[in-house]
């Protein structure tokens, strides 16, 4: 617990709203000051206007030349898949069969889950990600391991035990009843404990019976503020399979909708093969599409259409989807998101992508008053980015003629090397040059 007041002098980037909709959405200070105390932001603004508030006891860390941004928010990934990232397979369903399920089997063992959870959190923090929506495995101890590791570092993580009671190996199968009971137990143990939050996690419709989805919907009704996460409309073979398994539904999304799983705080991975009705229904329910470009390109799932999402006001955030995704870095995820937008005839600015990865995600997750903005009283989760991380980045950022060009260089050229330091609740939890956590 940090009670000392510390001020950080650097460029500051945050947002008042979506840069796609508001001209004054960007809040940028070229010479800024972020004042932090007791894990929260006290003030942010121009150095010149805040310097007078600094008492002699306040330590000022001089990070001039670097840029502080809110901690990145990754809205979709799987911690048990860390060990099988970059596994070759011809598409989603064969990849699940040949790599994912055998890898997830080992999480029955608590010690394995604990070791992997800690490695996974190191990876997130080295990439500047301070909040993530995390899939565990079917084993409830896999969720205990992740939450305990997150709690030990005082991170704000959202996670859940996977629900799957059919179309998967026996060794990864729960039942509608045991999945309900285990999820209820984990909610009681972890949801709202410190910074931990729970997400009901039916893997996807093909691996749950209608009874299991209904039990999940019942839990969602009993716990209005827990999160819900699943996959939808990722791959054409998967969409066909769902149509066979759930006849009489308007669409794949409708399978979840009819069980009460579409609402605020529900995050749907991929949402590629959607129609206009699906997008409008997401928007109406306040559910969020997690766009996972590195995964969608790697698995050949398809091109998410950001312009259509915007046209129907469907909330969107970004996800890495590790291990289907090929990088833990939200900067690399922006890089690929930009290219996917190009391929669908849309130009996604870096300014918007930084919003999508910070304040936009926080707002979409109903956590906008807690994280993602650097606003006073919010939790002090932030990242110090280094424009001179590599000789090429130094050369390109030195020539940037606008904020957009400067941010675009980070998004297109940056990765974990661009993350100089990461802070969670005011504590340094990663420092690049020490290659270790903490001070």
64-75 burial by CB neighbour count: b if 16+ within 10 A, else e?
Answer: eebbbbbbbbbb
Cβ distance to ligand GUN smaller for residue 295 or 329: 295
Q: Residue 203: which of ligand GUN, Zn ion, none does it interact with, CB under 5 to 8 A by kind? A: ligand GUN
Contacts with ligand GUN by CB under 6 A: the residue count is 11
Chain residues 255-294 in contact with Zn ion, contact rule CB under 5 A: 269
Q: Residue 92: which of Zn ion, ligand GUN, none does it interact with, CB under 5 to 8 A by kind? A: ligand GUN
Going by their DSSP bridges, the two strands 26-37 and 6-15 should be labelled as antiparallel
At CA 171, angle to CA 168 and CA 172, rounded to 5? 50
Cα distances (angstroms) measured from residue 155 to each of 199, 406, 422 = 16, 29, 11
- 231: contact with ligand GUN by CB under 6 A: yes
Distance between CA 396 and CA 178 in Å, rounded?
Answer: 55
- 321: contact with ligand GUN by CB under 6 A: yes
Stretch that binds ligand GUN, among 28-36, 92-100, 350-358, 379-387 (CB under 6 A): 92-100
DSSP β-bridge partners for residue 422: 383, 430
Task: Please select the residue that binds ligand GUN; options are 39, 324, 360, 414, rule is CB under 6 A.
Answer: 324
Task: Please select the residue that binds ligand GUN; options are 92, 132, 261, 306, rule is CB under 6 A.
Answer: 92
CB of 290 to ligand GUN, least distance (A): 11
CB of 72 to ligand GUN, least distance (A): 20
Distance between CA 382 and CA 367 in Å, rounded?
Answer: 15
Q: In the chain, how many H helices and how many E strands?
A: 17, 16
232-270 burial by CB neighbour count: b if 16+ within 10 A, else e?
Answer: bbbbeebbebbeebbeebebbbbbbbbbbbbebbbbbbb
- 321: contact with Zn ion by CB under 5 A: yes
Cβ distance to ligand GUN smaller for residue 266 or 407: 266
Q: Which of 198, 75, 85, 193 has its CA nearest to residue 129?
A: 75
CB of 337 to Zn ion, least distance (A): 16
- Return the biggest CA–CA distance within the chain: 69
- 295: contact with ligand GUN by CB under 6 A: yes
- x/- mask, ligand GUN, residues 232-271, rule CB under 6 A, reads --x-------------------------------------
CB of 238 to Zn ion, least distance (A): 12
Distance between CA 106 and CA 145 in Å, rounded?
Answer: 13
Question: Which residues lie near ligand GUN (CB under 6 A)?
Answer: 78, 92, 96, 100, 203-204, 231, 234, 295, 321, 324
Binding site for Zn ion (CB under 5 A): 269, 321
């Amino acid at each position: 617990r940090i009670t000392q007041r510390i001020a950080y002098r650097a460029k500051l980037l945050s947002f008042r709203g979506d840069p796609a909709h508001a001209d004054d959405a960007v809040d940028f200070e070229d010479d800024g000051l972020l004042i932090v105390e007791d894990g929260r932001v006290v003030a942010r603004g121009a150095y010149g206007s805040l310097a007078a508030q600094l008492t002699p006891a306040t330590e000022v860390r001089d990070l001039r030349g670097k840029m502080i941004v809110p901690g990145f928010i990754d809205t979709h990934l799987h911690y048990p898949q860390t060990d099988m990232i970059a596994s070759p397979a011809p598409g989603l369903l064969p990849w699940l069969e040949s790599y994912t399920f055998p890898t997830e089997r080992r999480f029955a063992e608590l010690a394995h889950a604990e070791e992997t959870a800690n490695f996974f959190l190191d990876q997130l923090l080295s990439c500047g990600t301070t909040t993530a929506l995390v899939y565990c495995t079917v084993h409830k101890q896999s969720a205990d391991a992740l939450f305990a590791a997150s709690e030990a570092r005082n991170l704000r993580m959202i996670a859940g035990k996977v629900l799957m009671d059919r179309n998967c190996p026996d060794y990864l199968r729960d039942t509608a009843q045991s999945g309900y009971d285990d999820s209820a137990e984990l909610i009681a143990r972890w949801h709202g404990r410190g910074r931990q939050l729970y997400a009901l996690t039916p893997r996807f419709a093909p691996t749950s019976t209608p009874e299991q989805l209904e039990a999940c919907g019942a839990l969602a009704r009993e716990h209005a503020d827990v999160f819900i996460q699943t996959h939808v409309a990722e791959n054409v073979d998967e969409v066909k399979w769902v149509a066979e398994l759930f006849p009489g539904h308007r669409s794949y999304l409708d399978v979840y909708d009819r069980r009460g799983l579409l609402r605020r705080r529900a995050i749907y991975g991929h949402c590629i093969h959607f129609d206009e009705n699906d997008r409008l229904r997401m928007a109406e329910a306040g559910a969020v599409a997690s766009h996972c470009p590195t995964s969608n390109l790697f698995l050949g799932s398809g091109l998410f259409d950001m312009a259509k999402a915007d046209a129907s006001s469907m909330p969107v955030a970004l996800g890495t989807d590790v291990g289907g995704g090929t990088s833990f870095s939200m900067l690399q995820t922006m890089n690929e998101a930009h290219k996917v937008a190009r391929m669908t005839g849309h130009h996604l600015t870096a300014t918007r992508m930084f919003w999508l990865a910070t304040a936009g995600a926080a707002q979409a997750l109903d956590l906008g008053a807690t994280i993602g903005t650097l606003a006073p009283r919010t939790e002090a989760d932030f990242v110090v980015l280094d424009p001179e991380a590599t000789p090429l980045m130094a050369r390109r950022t030195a020539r940037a003629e606008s904020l957009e060009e400067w941010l675009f260089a980070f998004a297109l050229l940056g990765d974990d090397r661009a993350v100089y330091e990461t802070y969670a609740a005011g504590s340094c939890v990663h420092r690049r040059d020490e290659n270790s956590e903490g001070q």
